[in-house]
Amino acid sequence: MNRGETRRRSVVALLLVPAAILVTATLLVLRLRMEPPTVPTYALAADAGTVVLRAGERFHLVVEPAGMVTGAVAARGFLVRGDEVQAWDPPFTVDRDGSIHLDGPVDTLFAGVAPGPWEVAVAVGRPETLPTAPRDVLRARDASAGDAAWRLVREHVVLGG
C-alpha cells in the first residue's frame, strides 16, 4: 500500500464517523417526534374490586389509556403477592387506540399458579422499555404517576375461590 492510498482511506474514515453520528441523531429526533418516549396513564376499563376466578371460567381484562396514544405500545404481565413477583405471559392484544385486552380460560391463563389472592399486574408501554425484573414492577407499584415509558395497572384476583 502506498502513502496516497493510506491517506485516502484515512480521509474517508474521518468523513464517515461524523456522517454516521449525523444520521443517528437525525433518526433519534425523528423517532422522538413521531413516537414520544412516554405513554399516557392507563386504567382498568371496569374496576370490579377483587375478582374470584374458578376453574372452567374465563378471565377478561381491558386496560385503556387515559389519553391519545401515539406510536407502538405493548403489554407484559406479572403476578404479584406481597413482595413476590413472577413473570406471567398471557396473550395480550392491542387495539389501534392503545387499549390492551386479555381474554382466556382461567385454567390456561393461570396454569401452575398457586391458589389464593394475587395482583394481576400489567405493564403497558413502549415495547423496548417494558420491565423484565421483578424489582422494577415493585418500584412501579409503589411509585407516583408521572411521565413514564411504561405504566403499571393492577387488578386483585383470587384463584380457586
Say yes or no: 48 and 88 in one domain: yes
CA-based nearest residue to 159, from 79, 46, 75:
79
CATH number at residue 143: 2.60.40.10
Sheet holding 58-65, edge to edge: 42-44, 58-65, 100-105, 93-94
The residue to which cell 413516537 is assigned: 35
Question: pLDDT value at position 84?
Answer: 92
More confident residue, 18 or 123: 123
Say yes or no: 29 and 71 in one domain: no
Q: What is the pLDDT of residues 30-75, one digit of tens each?
A: 544 555 578 899 999 988 789 999 999 999 999 999 999 988 999 9
Helix (H, G, I), strand (E, B) or coil at 61: strand
Say yes or no: 77 and 148 in one domain: yes
Say yes or no: 86 and 18 in one domain: no
- Identify the domain containing residue 149 by its residue range: 42-159
Q: How many domains does the chain have?
A: 2
pTM, 2 dp: 0.75
Q: What is the pLDDT of residues 117-160, one digit of tens each?
A: 999 999 999 999 899 988 899 888 766 656 688 999 999 999 98
Q: List 156's β-bridge partners, or say none.
A: 119
Say yes or no: 80 and 99 in one domain: yes
Question: pLDDT value at position 5?
Answer: 73
Residue 8 has pLDDT above 80, yes or no: no
pLDDT category of residue 104 using cuts at 50, 70 and 90: very high
Say yes or no: 112 and 137 in one domain: yes
Residue 99 has pLDDT above 90, yes or no: yes
Say yes or no: 19 and 76 in one domain: no
Question: pLDDT value at position 63?
Answer: 96
Question: pLDDT value at position 32?
Answer: 46
More confident residue, 10 or 74: 74
Question: pLDDT value at position 19?
Answer: 76
Question: pLDDT value at position 46?
Answer: 84
